[in-house]
Structure 1
Amino acid sequence: MITVHSLAFSRAVRVVWLLEELGETYELKTYARTEAYRAPPALKAIHPLGKSPVIEDGGLVLGESAAILRYVDGRYGGHRHSPDPGTDAHAIHDEWLDFVEGSMARSVIAAFWAKKNGGAVEEKMRTEYATIMAYLARTLADRDFLMGGRPMLADIQISYLLAMAEASGVLGDHPAVLAYFKRLEAMAGLRRAVARTGPIMPPL
């Protein structure tokens, strides 16, 4: 059985959401953040980076959200949350998975910390964020989800950063992306995951 190590207000909600979608039995171990909004030292006993999510599955200890999602969907889901391997769609889906914590994350995280600390987002990050949102809006102009008519791993992956953007007050100016996030929020699997892990974002 998979054990999910879940830090409060963390990316672990992605993993729990996928497990809920698959109907897999799992154990959830939760950790509170420190006053500095960091992970507690106990997580370093599980994985040297001391971050969340981390899963244990038998002798396997695995970190990084995208790697965990790929592993869980492949081993327990028959790859049904990603396009067929070897296709162009599969390559594009992999691009979206990497885009979230690569191209997208920096500007969204900048907005989060600016909101949390009562500061302003620097111009470079505002410009980068606007480019990201325009890219997403164009993609979603003719579809409900990133790859088309049904959600896949990439949609699970991006949900956390969209929640962060909404909590930071920077998503409302992008109605197409906000509507997409609301579609994700309404999904039963994500609602069940949040019921297990707690809110995706803290009050800011």
Structure 2
Amino acid sequence: MIVVHHLNNSRSQRVLWLLEELGVPYEIKKYQRNPKTMLAPPELLQVHPLGKSPVITDDGTTVAESGAIIEYLLSRFSPGTQGRLAPAAGTPEALRFTYWLHFAEGSAMPPLLLKLIFDRIPKSPMPFFVKPIAKGISAKVLALMVEPNLKRQFDFMEAELGRSEWFAGGDFSAADIQMSFPVEAAAQRAGLDASRPKLMAWLKRIHARPAYRRALERGGPYDFAD
């Protein structure tokens, strides 16, 4: 039996969604973030040495990292599928699928995390004489590096969804599941809005999927779905 070690408001929501799409039975072990630090609890260190989520266990096998988990679950429960969560091997869609599976964490998430960090710096406790300096540095980093990078990525993703309804092509796939977290985070915290109508329409489509709704019911509160 698959056990999903599920942290609230985290990437592990994607794993629940994938399992619902696959129709695979699974159990959830829930963990809560520290309300002050927003870090994962130390109990997750007992599952994986890095103490982060997502991580799954499957009859003695432990798999961490969203992309690795998706590939493991597809090979384990949906091998050789063509057009169902993964395009057929050797097709242009398969290449796009692999690209977006890696883009989500390799390219999309770093600037989103930087924006979260530098947005918080001016609000963090610090000596009063340091605050103007910290605010100035944060504003400079955001303006010169983070915001331009985010805009370029949003424009790129918007254009790609102009090529097809889903990220890997004409059919919904696990690449869309992997891309859900960065796009949801961008809409919540990084200014993604109606100026990119294709991305916003894509968000509505994924949020309307029955398997997505079932994963929310089982996983509990998930702020990024709002």
Task: Report the residue type matching 2:62 in the other structure.
Answer: V
1:38 — aligned with what? 39
1:171 — aligned with what? 192
Consecutive unaligned residues in structure 2, runs of 5 or more? 124-137
Alignment of 1:20-169 (within 5 A): 20-34=20-34, 35-78=36-79, 79=81, 80-114=84-118, 122-123=142-143, 124-169=145-190
Higher mean Cα deviation, 147-156 or 118-127? 118-127
* Distance apart, 1:202 and its partner CA: 6.6
* Distance apart, 1:174 and its partner CA: 2.2
Consecutive unaligned residues in structure 1, runs of 5 or more? none
* Distance apart, 1:200 and its partner CA: 3.0
* Distance apart, 1:114 and its partner CA: 4.9
SS at match of 2:223: coil
Is the CA contact (8 Å cut-off) linking 1:109 and 1:164 kept in structure 2?
Answer: no
Is the CA contact (8 Å cut-off) linking 1:3 and 1:26 kept in structure 2?
Answer: yes
Name the CA shift for 1:131/1:144 in 2 (closer, same or farther; >3 Å): same
How many positions carry a matched residue from both structures?
Answer: 203
Query: Which residue of 180, 197, 203 maps to 1:181?
Result: 203
Identity %: 37
Which structure: larger Rg? 2
Task: Report the residue type matching 1:13 in the other structure.
Answer: Q
**CA distance in structure 2 between the aligned counterparts of 1:92 and 1:150, rounded to whole angstroms:** 12
Deviations 1:62-107 (A, max 9, x none): 0000110111112112343111223343222111111110111112
TM-score normalised by L of structure 2? 0.83
Is the CA contact (8 Å cut-off) linking 2:118 and 2:142 kept in structure 1?
Answer: no
Is the CA contact (8 Å cut-off) linking 2:115 and 2:142 kept in structure 1?
Answer: no
Higher mean Cα deviation, 164-173 or 183-192? 164-173
Query: RMSD across aligned C-alpha pairs, in angstroms?
Result: 2.0
